[in-house]
Every structure is written in C-alpha cells, then in structure tokens.
Amino acid sequence: MAKKELTLNEAFTSVEEIMEKLRDDEISLEDSFKLYKEGMDMLKVCSEKIDKVEKQVKMLDEDGEVSDFQTGTGE
C-alpha cells in the first residue's frame, strides 16, 4: 500500500481536480484541451485499475500457497 502508484480513489480525485481547473473561465482553450486529455487518460487508468475479470475465491494455506477455494461448502 506504500507504493507510489495511484489508488483508484486517488485517480478519481485527480480527475475531479482537473475538472476544477477546467471550471476556471479564465483558462485558455489550449490548456483546456490539455487538461481534457489528461482527465481522459486518468479515467483510462481508473478503468484499468478495475481489472475486469471475474475472479474465483482463492484460499491461502499455512505455507503461503494459494489454491482455488470451492465455494458452496455450506455448514
């Protein structure tokens, strides 16, 4: 968690900050486009953060080995 990589929430916040800058009516059109591209790139990062693959539940054993966990074992 201590990595410098942005979390999804930080990425979202960063897009919101970009939006805030875009809201400034004094901004030049060039900067406006630059920020827009930045925002869209950041949204792409957001989308990539959500690794859109359905995942099986895994089980971690005492040796630190991971295996598939059979769900539905019940009580």
Partner 1 sequence: MNKVYAVGQINQYIKNLLAQETILHSVSVKGEVSNVKYHSSGHIYFTMKDNTGTLSCVMFASARSGLKFTMREGMGIIATGRIEVYMRDGKYQLYAEKIVQDGAGDLYARYLELKDKLEEMGMFDQSYKKDIPYYSRTIGIVTAATGAAVQDIIQIAHRRNPYVQLILCPAQVQGDGAAQSIVDGIEALDRYGVDVIIVGRGGGSIEDLWAFNEEIVARAIFACNTPIVSAVGHETDFTIADFVADKRASTPSAAAELTVVPYADLEKRMQDLAVSLFDRVDHNIRMEKNRLHQTVTRLQALSPGARIREKKMHYVNLLDQLQQVMQGNLMQNKHRLQMRITELEALSPLTRLQGGYVHATAKGKPLTKVSQVSAGDEIRLRLADGTVQTRVENTEKEKIAKIR
The two structure tokens encoding residue 17: 């900050």
Nearer to partner 1, 4 or 23 (CB): 23
* Location of structure tokens 């019940």: 74
- Residues paired with residue 68 on neighbouring β-strands, in sequence order: 58
Angle at 18 between CA 13 and CA 8, to 5 degrees: 25
Nearer to partner 1, 4 or 57 (CB): 57
Q: How far is the CB of 61 from partner 1 (least distance, A)?
A: 8
CB count within 10 Å of CB 1 equals 4
Residues that bind partner 1 (CB under 8 A): 1, 7-9, 12, 15-16, 18-19, 22-23, 25, 27, 29, 32-33, 35-36, 39-40, 43, 46-47, 49-55, 57-60, 62, 64, 66, 69, 71-75
